[in-house]
Amino acid sequence: MRLQDKVALITGASSGIGRESALLFAREGAKIVAVDVDEDRGAEVVEEIGKDGGEAIFVRADVSKSSEVEAMIQRAEDRFGGLQVLFNNAGIMHSDDGDAVATDESVWDLTMNVNLKGVFFGCKYGIPALRRAGGGAIINTASFVAHLGAATPQLAYTASKGGVLALTRELAVIHAREKIRVNALCPGPLRTELLMKFLDTEEKKQRRLVHIPMGRFGEAREMAQAALYLASDESSFVTGTEFLVDGGITSAYVTPE
């Protein structure tokens, strides 16, 4: 199994990419710390892992709060004796996120606090745990919109994910010789609850689909497979990357020289 004897903490684990990653990582041998603010759905993920023969615990934490992130890392070490994989996946996409004129300051602040500050806190408290474990892998969920911008305006989200890319690159360089790898997973448009709530009309959906060469939305399980590669020792020489898993949408926008 690709994650045998590893402990993996995944934020945003109750749904979407986080849920599928928790289930997949557990099947690949990892002990899972499933983190979310949704206690009921988080408990369901842990129960499903247990039924499948895996081992997992749920920790409720708001990643925008420093003390709760510090506590979730501590809980992982206390329960399982260490931490080798940190998947900073939790994020929001606010329905009132628009262009610079229309987006309220409160929407901007909330989005930045969860999507960017949450990743910072995860790394702030997670990196010392990875050091104690002798190294490990950090995966930060960014997005293809950090490269391209979004056809349907969502400025705070796009800016927050751009910040995640910059943070990932710098941390990868800083910690490379400590056997700590830091990579960004950049999903394309997905058929997840998060995006479908934002693309709440057929017109908005088609505005995204028309640009995807594969002609469909991606699935959360496909992102989990990509995250598994970044978490596993198969990617042992991979750090500082922006792993685009986007159905070709980014390449469709690249202008040939």
Which residues form the catalytic set? 157
How many Å separate Cα 46 from the centre of its chain? 18
Cα 65-163-192 angle, rounded to 5 deg: 75
Tokens at 154, concatenated: 């969502």
Structure tokens at 140: 């930060």
Q: What distance, in Å, lies between the first and last C-alpha atoms of the chain?
A: 43
Residues 6+ apart with CB under 8 A from 82: 7, 76, 129, 132, 133
Which positions ≥6 away from 105 have C-beta within 8 Å? Answer: none
Burial readout 70-81 (b: 16 or more C-beta within 10 A, e: otherwise) = ebbbebbbeebe
Location of structure tokens 């986080």: 18
The pair of structure tokens assigned to 160 is 């927050």
